[in-house]
Structure 1
């Protein structure tokens, strides 16, 4: 059966054709569409026929016709785009898709972006990067092989050390139960926070004290500072019998205003208090012990001569405020002693407790610092470590400060009950 055809006459964007005597209208639609047709190429699995894709316009600085299409099933995600590295996938040509309407005998062509769709398996999304890490490990291994084969001695030694330090995760996994049990066993034997706090309280470099004391005089156990049995070795009576102040100074090993004034106050009474005088002399011995150097510390005999005290008092001071060096001995076979950071902190705390007890439990930090040759800040820190509170100094205040000139820091250290220590103590490491 023959068929009669006419060549279509094209005018502008419209054309008519006669097929078996029937005319079809052809046009190109450039208006925005509610549903954008897309021409897609699937690089892997093809989605089911009933799959629906969503099209999104990609907003960029240079292009306004870039788009992205996405779809997904229970196991697979489909993601496509018509650009790559900022450039369109197809250059030099455009694709058109025509839609034929048999009722109106019309064919409408619309430009369709070309997209390339990639397939992503959902179960493998979390394992991305494994290949990259594997490649990196292979590169590192190859570099190490080259270093072992052609590197210098230093490079080879470094590579061997790195290989020895590598952790075999298979062995670690097999030992996980053993490691966990060991950690649990060790943590169960660790002290609690309350036990640690209690140990810290015991380790404070201060004399024995009563945290529940009602008055300042009851806080510290002065028998622990200087017992009566040890005080008996201090010849306070000979000091009290000396009437010449210059001769009296020769019996005192240090020259401090605090010690000198306290001695003059005690011996100036009709009946001197020998117990207080022994306490002042013991304070003088401790201040002198602070200034003894490391070389003189090695020999007790040298220290006894320097302190101008009895051997019994020297033994008391050495036992409390010096540490014996294990395995070290002097030429005569006697042990070697040193002052550690912890023992020095303990020595200074005992000195300040003695001074407080002799001065109605009040001290002026600036005056004490100048008398002992210390920094004011260090002096205040030690006073706080023995439980003192810093208060504003007033010229018309209590009897202990009355009549004194105001210090530059305008502070006084006062010990009050109940005692409260600062959280940080002065106990150092040996």
Structure 2
């Protein structure tokens, strides 16, 4: 018998370390080749580590939430033969990238028993397998998911067995990649607690202690650093969007096969048209170097709530896209963020962020700046109010109008209050005279 040291590989993106967000093995567990070891969190994505060899776990690097440097030992395995002549870093091929945030389980769960080929599937019996050299302990009987009339989902026997133990119907799980349900898809499904989502039994009505790890820790650190280091100020302006909503309705009625327009593409177009006169808004501030970089291109961050937490996919070169192109990109990026398939480059590099709560938008809010940007813009809910409007004869009349407030938060070290207010006023003029949005 020998030992094999699996070192955290260079996952790319220029990262120097990663956080352990989930263990799939513990000391004493038997793991097969390509078996899951751990999920490691980089900047915004989770990377699933797989074992390049079969063996028994004798050491692990740390607990969930610990940080491991690239090249440092992650897992030590006892293997058949002499093991490694010398310890060498694992290759990136040993890691399968997934963009799904993996929540921490209540306690480190033991790895699934090693697969035996052919293996017994959770929903359909197969011939008895030939025992491996190291027979695993007999697994607990799996409870088959209830039949719901769906077609049989594609999944490995190990995934089916785990889904059965958790009481998850695989037909309800939407794969993030291709048509095959993987362990990461089960993790994402477990993280979702909305209607129809799985809820762990026995948790309601009881106090819970949940460690802040992974994406939630990143969000907490970023928000704390933003509020700690940036002197925020906020400004709110009221805008009449009656004419804008009428134009949006007309465009949607004649869109053909184009995506349906929401308010967001219209607002982004107004922002991009206003920004050239306010270059201090479309900027990033490196406070350590004391350098503000003002960008010619608008790489617009779009704050999106996902089952795993807040993500900010980026619309590249938003200033060069028309309304329909913006609408299509918004849909694509929102879906990628929600399903966890967004690439790392689609989640970084924004120069200005818009955060919208949609129908929950409220009357006004004071959004937190997406550091190192210097401003963040937030549209609010559209409400109908009686307003005094000119009657065309020198007087006024009362008319029902659609009103939306626009909130902005700025870094007062870089942006003055006058500039922020003037920028929002420029946006107000554009959306209250929406024909200007379509003018070159």
Structure with bigger RCO (C-alpha 8 Å, 6+ apart) = 2
Greater strand fraction, Structure 1 or Structure 2: 2
Report if TM-score (shorter chain) is over 0.5. no
User: Which structure has the greater CA radius of gyration?
Assistant: 1
Greater helix fraction, Structure 1 or Structure 2: 1
Query: TM-score range with shorter-chain normalisation?
Result: under 0.3
Query: Could you state the TM-score of these two structures normalised by the residue count of structure 1?
Result: 0.17
